[in-house]
Amino acid sequence: MRLRGTLKVIGAHCEGEVGNVVIDGVGDVPGRTMAEKSEYLEHNMDHIRRTLLFEPRGAPYHAANVIFPSQHPEAEFGFALLQVSKYSWMSGNNLICVATVLLEEGMIPMTEPLTVFKLETPAGLIEATCKCTRGRVENVEFRNVPCFMLHSDRIVDVPGIGSIHVDIAYGGVFYAIVYATQLGFNLEIDETPEICRIGKEIRSACQEQLGVRHPQNEKIADVVSVVVAGPLMRKQTYIEAKNATVINRGRVDRCPCGTGTCARLAVMYAKGQIALGEEFHSYSITDTRFIGKVVGETTVVGVPAVVPTIKGRAWITGVMEYRVDPNDPIESGYVLPDVWS
């Protein structure tokens, strides 16, 4: 077989959501920051994303993270986030996968019981605190970029559904947060097809009817995903809630969604529903869990914002070499609408 290239990939998932990590085969690419490198990949090397994530090698629920050296003086590494429908600015579950792989594969020295380091993402610098035991990463808690509520209790008209109330918040990307009770959902697994259908309609309505743009970076714009949020339940020492987050081409996130949880924390804090330092246990529709907190207040160009943390777990699932034969007529992959909505 004549090979055009080989990509070494460490398979990983975070609380059920696939976030594979490309550790070799791409090399470095032009760009001073991870945002610039991500943009270069999108415009000049998108065949890598298609090869990794589209059929016959990938699937609608795959994501890939390409590791790069970072020019940021505080960062150990950086990474670009490749998803099936876009290049993302930030993803909590993918960052947890990357941090776990870098430590367990020996790319960053592991110190027990805690290893602390910073990673550069397209959204900015993220600090990861990793609990480590006997060479294994038990969990990763990351400190996200500043997050904020952009729109509160806005009404959007959704075709076939009617007028609904939404909050728009930034958690690394922009989310529309809608509440399961007003849509009649109990957030059960058998509701996921309808949640996905309605979530896509809500996202489109928000795009058309609400202005969404980051005040510091005009390239970060538009509602990316929709959090269908369950009711808050106050326990003795923490608050908990379930959610179903409609992401990418219109599927439900298998994990509790790290950046989506950060967006919800920003809304909760702005509305006085959670105190500084109080734990929020965010559950996915599959009952996996992230633990989030608001650990600080800040502003983003005059907009009140919070600094949230998210704690979760990841596991390595395998080591793979993705090979590309130049004679393969579908070397860069394909999608079909039967499973790629």
Q: How far is CA 9 from CA 37, 43, 67, 104, 249, in A?
A: 19, 22, 10, 14, 23
Nearest to 280 by CA among 311, 246, 252: 311
Instruction: Tell me the C-alpha distance between 65 and 16, whole Å.
Output: 16
Kindly give the pairing relationship between strand 251-252 and strand 233-234. Answer: unpaired
Please report which helix (H) or strand (E) contains residue 94, including its range.
Answer: helix 92-104
From the list 88, 91, 225, 282, the catalytic residue is 91
Query: Is 91 among the catalytic positions?
Result: yes
**Where do we find the tokens 């060479």?**
135
**DSSP secondary structure letter of residue 213:** B
Instruction: Tell me the C-alpha distance between 136 and 112, whole Å.
Output: 9
Instruction: Tell me the C-alpha distance between 252 and 225, whole Å.
Output: 10
Q: How far is CA 11 from CA 8, 29, 223, 252, in A?
A: 10, 23, 29, 20
**Where do we find the tokens 């058309």?**
208
**Which residue type, as a one-letter code, is found at position 280?**
F
Cα dihedral sign for 221, 89, 320, 329? positive
SS (H, E, C) 67-81: EECCCCCCCCEEEEE
- In the chain the beta strands, taken as DSSP E runs, fall at 5-14, 17-18, 20-24, 63-68, 77-83, 87-88, 114-121, 124-133, 136-143, 148-158, 162-170, 174-179, 223-229, 233-234, 238-247, 251-252, 279-283, 289-300, 303-312, 314-324
Structure tokens given for 105: 């594969």
Kindly give the pairing relationship between strand 136-143 and strand 303-312. Answer: antiparallel
Instruction: Tell me the C-alpha distance between 324 and 35, whole Å.
Output: 27
Would you please indicate which residues are annotated as catalytic (active-site) residues?
91
